Amino acid sequence: TPGSGKTPLSLAFDAVRGSLTDAVVVPAGYTAQVLIPWGTPLNSQAPSWREDLSFTPQIQANSVGMHHDGMHNFALDENNASSNFLLAMNNEYIDQGALWAPQGGPTNAAEGARPADEVRTEINAHGVTVVEVKKDGEGRWRHIPNSSYNRRFTSATEMELSGPVAGSDYVKTKYSPDGTRTRGTNNNCANGYTPWGTYLTCEENWPGYFIKDAGREMDDNRIGISEGRGRYGWETAAGDASEVDDEFARFNATPRGNAATDDYRNEPRTFGYIVEIDPYTGARAVKRTALGRFRHEGCWPGKLVEGEPVVFYSGHDSRNEYIYKFVSDAVWDPADANRPGANYDRLALGAKYMDKGTLYVARFNADGTGEWLPLTPEAKTQDGRTLAQALGLAADDLAGVIIHTCDAADMMGATPMDRPEWGAVDPASGDVYMTLTNNSDRTAEGTAATYTNGGSDIDELGVGYGTAPTNGPNPRADNSGGQVIRWREGSDATRFNWAVFVFGAAVNDADNFSGLTELNQFASPDGLHYDDRGDGQGILWIETDNGYDNVADYTNDQVLAVVPQNVNQAEGDAAVIGGGDQAQLKRFAVGPNGCEVTGIFFTPDKTAMFINIQHPGNWPSTEDATVETQGSVRPRASTVVIQREDGGEIGV
């Protein structure tokens, strides 16, 4: 029972039915406004959006990026933080069809050399957008063109490496012979933020942008760097390999000479990190390597306690990959809390809390307990060797352990999960929620992974999973519905207790374990946000990125709300399979055809909810997000602001 003596929080809207239209659907009494769609000019160096606008590198570098995903709000002044703030947003990847619509599509998308300016434009459509936004007197939201805060970080922007990997031989390249810098951040999916006022952007599906045709190493195979051609063929714009052009050849990590002076074999090792951005200043972004190297979906701060370490959670979104926790060496000093709008060195605080600490990976036991397994060179693996020995590294090579985070996690006996995506933390209880979106490679028995190198299978040190056997938090084979799990930290930093919070499913599925109905059936949970409403109560918002037909035939991707019931889970309690009593799970909004719904935050006064509509098929056509598109439009990922007509708090 929540909040003793307090009125229990209740969802005061009528759940919306499924929808299969080119429009956003919200409950009666709510509005939805399109804000900062892709291609919105941030300053006067870019023209206004037009249906037939031809993008150039210059235009895209000065406009909102493509495929909006995770985002967060940063107050400029505490007194008007609900009507004027900086919005920092990920631009995860691109829709080449929409980007190159006036030209009839991209040039040489699948074979042949890509033109340099098309590649530069695509690079500039990726990354992060920082933009000042403001609510006007009529309750409409606008971005502020030419605000001095408006800024883009792209897949070409110079960034610093920090933490254990920085300066190591693993990341020395022709561009940065001392291994301290790299260019760009890629595939910024979900996000995070820090108590000291910085934005965290997370590198997820970056391996697909690099190729390596020879000299492949253990981590290239484990993490999925391919041979042949990159996702958009950016490396082909370099032209003849004998006259290496840094700008594009860096996406081809094939060794050509000396690692530190001649080539980019180590370029992929400068990706796969949590990247810290100070949205208030022009400071260079920093890749915080201590938090591990993998396909980071996002990064969420744990419960903050004065005098205790700062904790961050992160999941690796690939089938049968793992959940991680970083625990800082430094303990939290409230004097380090953000001072909105002020211009000072927040990244020095990032260095204090994120460059030194311990990275752990999660093992979930069948009885509802769990353990955090340290990924340090001296940690003892399942076979009794140290992790450094097992990985073939020097005894104190923490940088090497981080470069091989996934292999290290295998060796420690981490639990393979059903694609960990977003996390969310209840700041009162410290309970952590995480979406496990789906897993087609979950079977009853499981098989070991095989990796290929030049066409022949090789036996790698790390084992990984081809298919993983079902286990406690991942109990369904060929899991299409996905689930949300919850855990609570135990009495020391290495133990926790977990339960499945809710299972996604279609109404008539045999494994509809959570008893979903037409008004709340969902599959493939992805975005997640714990919306604290005080008194130890809050609303958990779940966003979907679904491809499961039994639900997709009924509704497009959606946002659901649930008031979590407190299970008072004690150490050693059994898992609550089915999620207990989650009767208040309701569908709140539905996105347009073709999209996923992602990115989420609320203004501090809870009167405006910001979400992102990514990869819509034929939307938006008007500023009113709920107007169905007539005919066809050039689709644009957009932020959508949902508000109540009466200006009240969202959801209650």
545 scored as a contact of Ca ion (CB under 5 A): yes
Which partner, ligand FEO, Ca ion, none, binds residue 133 by CB below 5 to 8 Å per kind?
Answer: none
User: Does residue 543 belong to the site contacting Ca ion (CB under 5 A)?
Assistant: no
Question: For strand 465-469 and strand 442-443, is the pairing parallel, antiparallel, or unpaired?
Answer: parallel
Of 274, 212, 571, give the one whose Cα is nearest residue 402. Answer: 274
Positions touching ligand FEO (CB under 6 A) are 92, 189, 204, 297, 317, 421
CB atoms within 10 A of CB 594: 17
Residue 220 contact among Ca ion, ligand FEO, none, beta carbon within 5 to 8 Å by kind: none
426 binds, among ligand FEO, Ca ion, none (CB under 5 to 8 A by kind): none
Which x/- pattern over 61-90 shows residues binding Ca ion (rule: CB under 5 A)? Answer: --------x---------------------
Residue 616 C-beta: closest distance to ligand FEO, Å? 16
Query: Least distance in Å: CB of 70 to ligand FEO?
Result: 9
Least distance from Ca ion to the Cβ atom of residue 318, Å: 11
Question: CB–CB of 15/520 below 8 Å?
Answer: yes
8-state DSSP, 399: H
Comparing CB distances to ligand FEO, the nearer of 122 and 297 is 297
Q: How far is the CB of 92 from ligand FEO (least distance, A)?
A: 6
204 touches which of ligand FEO, Ca ion, none (CB within 5 to 8 A by kind)?
Answer: ligand FEO
Local structure of 206: helix, strand or coil:
helix
Q: Which is nearer to ligand FEO, 73 or 437 (CB)?
A: 437
Token pair listed for 515: 């008893």
Q: Residue 443: what are its φ and ψ, rounded to 5°?
A: -130, 175
Instruction: Give the C-alpha separation, 486 to 578, whole Å.
Output: 12
| Residues across the chain | 652
543 binds, among Ca ion, ligand FEO, none (CB under 5 to 8 A by kind): none
Nearer to Ca ion, 540 or 575 (CB): 540
Alpha helices (runs of H) in 301-397, residue ranges in sequence order: 346-354, 387-391
CB 117 within 8 A of CB 56: yes
Quick check: 641 and 71 in contact, CB under 8 A? no
Least distance from Ca ion to the Cβ atom of residue 184, Å: 18
For position 203 contacting Ca ion by CB under 5 A, the verdict is no
Min dist CB 600 to ligand FEO, Å, is: 14
For 5, residues 6+ apart whose C-beta sits below 8 A from its C-beta are none
Question: What does the block give as tokens for 43?
Answer: 């300053």
Residue 238 CB coordination number (10 Å)? 21
Question: Which CB sits closer to ligand FEO, 268 or 315?
Answer: 315
Q: Quick one: what does residue 237 bind among Ca ion, ligand FEO, none, with the CB cut-off 5 to 8 Å set by partner type?
A: none
Of the listed pieces 347-355, 398-406, 522-530, 556-564, which binds Ca ion according to CB under 5 A?
Answer: 522-530
The residue assigned the tokens 């957009």 is: 638
Comparing every residue's Cβ against ligand FEO, the nearest one is: 189
Total residues binding Ca ion (CB under 5 A): 4
Give buried/exposed letters for 375-404 (b at 16+ CB in 10 A, else e): bbbebebeeeeebbbbbebeeebbbbbbbb
* Closest CB to ligand FEO among residues 68, 288: 68
Rounded to whole angstroms, what are the CA distances from 216 to 76, 168, 242, 289?
A: 47, 19, 20, 22
- At its nearest, how many Å lie between Ca ion and the CB of residue 275? 16
- Shortest Å, Cβ 297 to ligand FEO: 5
Binder of residue 489, out of ligand FEO, Ca ion, none (CB less than 5 to 8 A by kind): none
The binder of Ca ion chosen from 22, 418, 526, 557 (CB under 5 A): 526
Nearer to ligand FEO, 76 or 560 (CB): 560
Query: How far apart are the C-alpha atoms of 511 and 502, rounded to whole Å?
Result: 12
Partner whose footprint covers residue 277, from Ca ion, ligand FEO, none (CB < 5 to 8 Å by kind): none
Q: CB of residue 338 vs ligand FEO: minimum separation in angstroms?
A: 27
Which two three-digit tokens encode residue 623? 């500023």
Cα separation of 561 and 293, whole Å? 32
Q: Tell me whether residue 429 or residue 435 sits nearer to Ca ion (CB atom).
A: 435
The DSSP secondary-structure symbol of 474 reads: B
Q: How far is the CB of 69 from ligand FEO (least distance, A)?
A: 6
Q: Which is nearer to Ca ion, 219 or 421 (CB)?
A: 421
Between 68 and 135, name the residue whose CB sits nearer to Ca ion.
Answer: 68
Residue 483 or 537 with smaller CB distance to ligand FEO: 483
- Distance (Å, whole) CA 131 – CA 153: 12
Report the nearest approach of ligand FEO to the CB of residue 127 (Å).
14
Alpha helices by DSSP H, 584-623: none
Burial (CB count within 10 angstroms: exposed 0-12, middle 13-18, buried 19+), residue 365 = middle
Q: Side-chain half-sphere of 317: how many Cα atoms within 13 Å?
A: 28
Q: Is the dihedral of CA 548, 554, 560, 566 positive or negative?
A: negative
Task: Choose the contact partner of 132 out of Ca ion, ligand FEO, none; CB within 5 to 8 A by kind.
Answer: none
Q: Which one of 95-103, 421-429, 465-473, 513-521 is the stretch in contact with Ca ion (CB under 5 A)?
A: 421-429
Element (H, E) at 279: none
CB of 171 to ligand FEO, least distance (A): 24
Dihedral, CA of residue 229, residue 234, residue 239 and residue 243, to nearest 10? -100
Q: In the complex, what is the shortest distance from the CB of residue 296 to ligand FEO, in angstroms, rounded to a whole number?
A: 9
Q: Quick one: 93 or 353, whose CB is closer to ligand FEO?
A: 93
Q: How far is the CB of 440 from ligand FEO (least distance, A)?
A: 14
- CA-to-CA separations, 330 to 338, 351, 372, 514, 547, in angstroms, rounded: 17, 10, 19, 41, 42
Of the pair 217, 421, the CB lying nearest Ca ion is at 421
Other CB atoms within a 10 A radius of the CB of residue 454 amount to 9
Query: Considering beta carbons, is residue 328 or 524 the nearer one to ligand FEO?
Result: 524
Nearer to Ca ion, 69 or 489 (CB): 69
Distance between CA atoms of residues 433 and 498, nearest Å: 10
Which residues sit at the interface with Ca ion, rule CB under 5 A?
69, 421, 526, 545
